[in-house]
Structure 1
Amino acid sequence: MSKTNPLSGINSLCLLDAAALAKAFGAGDVSPVEVATAVMDRAEDINASLNAFTFVDRKGALEAAAASEKRWRAGEPLSDADGVPTTLKDIVWVDGWSVRYGSKTTPAEPYRADAPAVERMRAAGAVFIGQTTTPEFGWKAVTDSTLCGITRNPVDPSKGSGGSSGGAAVAAATGAGVFHLGTDGGGSIRVPASFCGIVGLKPTFGRVPAYPASAFGTVAHLGPMTRSAADAKAMLKIMSGRDLQDWAQGAGQLAPLDDEAVDLSGLKIGYWSEPPVGAVDADVKRIVDARVAELRAAGASVEPIVLPGENHLDLFHHHWFTGAAARLALVPESERAGIDPGFLDIAAQGGRIDAKGLIAAQVRRSEFGSAMDRLLETYDFVVSPGTAIPAFEAGLEFPADGRYRRWTEWAAFNFPINLSQQPACVIPCGATPEGLPVSFQIIGARGADARVLSAAASLEVLFSR
């Protein structure tokens, strides 16, 4: 299939960011109903070839948009995000929607409660236009399932979108919404954002409340996927905060998400250039190395670093595979025949990890997390490629060239930061000779989400020159 421009032929209303929409709504230049209609038309148009949505909620979205229009006309919007088109991944609870987790084993009945992050977006007036695709139970870093089929890359539909928030990434890249709620347990926001050429943030763990708790435990985060760092920050501010349903957040308060410009000059940055497993694609390395050189030219001090600790892949597998086993245990034996074989395989491996092995892995994780905290006391940020490889063939868990046996082996710039829980943002930074997006990852200290997003915004400017 030929390469495409994800925004080709798009209605200009679909290109407005959250700030521009608030300004237009406030001035009466544009109606939330007009915008919602344009965005849903776009979603349905791209879905025929890319399969980003499980469904588009035209009736519910138009009702919400009409209510938003009345509030803006009265000068009483719920927030600056009132009327902003938003998508939600098929893995978070939404009142009135069937949430299937990408699986035929889950009930099709609508839920009667919002997840906390969804509730906060609704309270801010966001207009929910539809639900985006995920692989079964969000288990892998590509997006395909027996329930929904294959989600394809908007730049080259012969390639995959990445995952597990693949539908959200495609929706963002094609202008089918402004805010997109994704989840990230091992790269599931950052991988598809990288493959599709958008911005994706895995926040500090606990920044965004999560309920119900993920079967994959405290490696799983909720976060924003957007076309700019500014939109990611706006969305994150809405979703963030304490919720008593999420005990894992802890009782402490994270640093506020204040706006703070980050001057690249004088920053001390660690460059993490080699993943703990696998190898970096030559084009990805060339492009990211060139961006690091631009950082140096802008006045930042950049030093090579090595990730602390060892056996990161084994450590992550202990957490991820046991989570898969816990999730599978909820599915009756009689309903397991059609489950993704890859998920069944890792769940079987997780089932063979005993309590002593899991506790030992948790101790190792705490040691790694402490080492990462110390590293980010030394450096303002750590940067790396967004992913080690660009997008590859659609419908596969890993490239067909035989280099890898699991998705984790090519997503090794991603899953370690789930173990250590720092905020990590990817932004586009170039393209391979084939036109496939390449991304740049910015990692900050726990709680420093605002600084990470501000640095991402500064790098967007630098990289666009």
Structure 2
Amino acid sequence: MTSLCELTATQLLAGYAAGDFSPVDAARAVLDRIEEIGPAVNAFVRVDAEGALARAAESEERWRRGEPAGLVDGVPVSVKDILLLRGAPTLKGSATVDEHPPGGWPEDAPSVARLREQGAVFTGKTTTPEFGWKGVTDSPRHGVTVNPYDPRRTAGGSSGGGAAAVALGAGPLTLGTDGGGSVRIPGSFCGIFAFKPTYGRVPLYPASAFGTLAHVGPMTRDARDAALLMDVISGPDPRDWSQLGPVTRSFRDALAAGAEGVTGLRVAYSPSFGGRVAVQPRVVAAVRHAVDRLAELGARVSEDDPPLAEDPVEAFHTLWFSGVARVVEPLDAARRELLEPALREVCAQGEGYSALDYLAAVDVRMALGRAMGDFHETYDLLVTPTMPDTAFEAGVEVPKGSGHERWTGWTPFSYPFNLTQQPAATVPCGTDGDGLPIGVQLVGPRHADARVLAAAHALYEAGVPAAVPPPTGI
């Protein structure tokens, strides 16, 4: 018999409508699973079993009356501990954050508010590195989050807790944030679907210190659930002055064509950004298989590279490290000593940049955005590996012996598309010799979120993610 923990949000909703099981049944199953995986994985910083069961009971009654509150009524959802969740502390992985501030925690982030309005059952908050600053998930406050396929390895980050939770059946939906790859990195490492929308498509409040690099996005079991979640969280919110206009078409409707929706798409496949990135052979093979499936589905695939011959990492560092320096600026010397040592290092680097340095980085960003816009006049989608390798040792910022100084050294396929604000998704497409997941990244031009989701959905319908079996042994 299939466990409720194994079902997607779409399948749960169908079960509620048919009366096969209830939101309370699903909430209990997910809460039991969270408790089961807790010590081994460390995916959650807070679990609200009482609140979840109360919201599930309210949802059950609405379903009994045939009056669900919205698109996700009764679906268990977790929230990254970067986003505000009313009544729950948002500690951001840092010992410098006061758990009991004056006035408490009275607000929801926009995406959380839209979920609350539509009946979601909030189970808890998931782990993040301190202030979400790096591509792995460990923090001074909450420790190390490990990979569901191998607890010796990292889950990736910075939305690592949410990725591990979804992979292990601890809820079908989670909200993550992505400023340089933070949903796609752990999505790839943990074998789940993750989507970074076009900047501004999902409103964000409070405004991120990382500025317009920071996106909110869904992490789910498949592309269909991500489209469902996008239909909810893309709702407008007046607190975000940079949000895009209203969505004119349901993201779920964009998936209706299935595999046929790929027919005729012009796809550029770049296995290594023109040889600039060293990619592990098993990753190359798995991504190539996914690209071949797109071609078999009717896409017109060409091997071509985006205009990234020169790595924009220094411009990204200027923007990113300046942002995190701004986050910690209010802290006195004593509280700064509570920060992770590596974070103190990048904050010092960020404090050293001038306004002219920052504006020069913006110039690089604008030029890259224009170049990618031109690139997408020729191609509807860009396909790359999500990561050049699979998950490495847990508890370190960079793989040992790699020679990389910072996390950006091993994430060359992700942060460029935060600079350009483009939609990008990772789809599981295979495993390496150790059974660790591999992801393929689909990148679209700005505002082509539905196209990216539709192509990802076609890969699911074609069975590509089936090459990544669910984790066992945790």
Same fold at TM > 0.5: yes
Say yes or no: does 1:270 pair with 2:305.
no
Verify the 8 A CA contact 1:257 1:449 in the aligned structure 2.
Answer: no
Q: Distance in 1 between matches of 2:105 and 2:277?
A: 41
Residue deviations 1:337-385, cap 9 Å, x none? 1211111111111111101111111122111111112212211111111
Counterpart pick for 2:140 among 121, 132, 146 = 146
What residue identity is the alignment partner of 1:272? S
Instruction: Quote the residue 2:5 is aligned against.
Output: 14
Counterpart pick for 1:239 among 223, 226, 233 = 233
Runs of at least 5 residues in structure 2 that lack an aligned partner in the other structure:
468-474
* Post-superposition offset of 1:311: 3.6
Counterpart pick for 1:172 among 166, 188, 193 = 166
Q: Distance in 1 between matches of 2:377 and 2:56?
A: 45
Instruction: Quote the residue 2:305 is aligned against.
Output: 306
Instruction: Quote the residue 2:343 is aligned against.
Output: 343
Instruction: Quote the residue 1:419 is aligned against.
Output: 419
Stretch deviating more after TM superposition (91-100 or 293-302): 293-302
Stretch deviating more after TM superposition (27-36 or 177-186): 27-36
Q: Give the total of aligned pairs.
A: 455
1:189-200 aligned at under 5 Å gives the runs 189-200=183-194
Taking structure 1 as the reference length, the TM-score comes to: 0.95
Let me know the Cα RMSD of the aligned residues: 1.6
Taking structure 2 as the reference length, the TM-score comes to: 0.93
Residue deviations 1:388-439, cap 9 Å, x none? 1100000011111233111101111000000001110101000001100000
* Post-superposition offset of 1:112: 0.8
Q: Distance in 1 between matches of 2:137 and 2:125?
A: 14
Stretch deviating more after TM superposition (268-277 or 63-72): 268-277
Say yes or no: does 1:136 pair with 2:130.
yes
Counterpart pick for 1:69 among 60, 79, 87 = 60
What residue identity is the alignment partner of 2:190? C
What residue identity is the alignment partner of 2:97? T
Q: Distance in 1 between matches of 2:9 and 2:291?
A: 30
What residue identity is the alignment partner of 2:82? I
Verify the 8 A CA contact 2:265 2:300 in the aligned structure 1.
Answer: yes
Counterpart pick for 2:39 among 48, 67, 73 = 48
Q: What SS class does the counterpart of residue 150 from structure 2 fall into? A: coil
Counterpart pick for 1:113 among 103, 107, 114 = 107
Instruction: Quote the residue 2:328 is aligned against.
Output: 328
Q: What SS class does the counterpart of residue 263 from structure 1 fall into? A: helix
Q: What SS class does the counterpart of residue 364 from structure 1 fall into? A: helix
Q: What SS class does the counterpart of residue 401 from structure 1 fall into? A: coil
Instruction: Quote the residue 1:3 is aligned against.
Output: none
Q: Distance in 2 between matches of 1:426 and 1:367?
A: 25
* Post-superposition offset of 1:460: 1.6
Verify the 8 A CA contact 1:254 1:447 in the aligned structure 2.
Answer: no
What residue identity is the alignment partner of 1:405? E
Q: Distance in 2 between matches of 1:294 and 1:38?
A: 35
* Post-superposition offset of 1:205: 0.4
Q: What SS class does the counterpart of residue 182 from structure 2 fall into? A: coil
Verify the 8 A CA contact 1:255 1:447 in the aligned structure 2.
Answer: no
Instruction: Quote the residue 1:401 is aligned against.
Output: 401
Q: Distance in 2 between matches of 1:254 and 1:56?
A: 33
Q: Distance in 1 between matches of 2:37 and 2:191?
A: 16
Instruction: Quote the residue 1:222 is aligned against.
Output: 216
Verify the 8 A CA contact 1:178 1:226 in the aligned structure 2.
Answer: yes
* Post-superposition offset of 1:278: 4.4
Instruction: Quote the residue 2:283 is aligned against.
Output: 284
Q: Distance in 2 between matches of 1:338 and 1:419?
A: 30
Verify the 8 A CA contact 2:156 2:186 in the aligned structure 1.
Answer: yes
Instruction: Quote the residue 2:176 is aligned against.
Output: 182
Instruction: Quote the residue 1:7 is aligned against.
Output: none
What residue identity is the alignment partner of 1:32? P
Instruction: Quote the residue 1:293 is aligned against.
Output: 292
Q: Percent identity at matched positions?
A: 47
Stretch deviating more after TM superposition (293-302 or 137-146): 293-302
Verify the 8 A CA contact 2:178 2:217 in the aligned structure 1.
Answer: yes
What residue identity is the alignment partner of 2:27? A
* Post-superposition offset of 1:144: 0.4
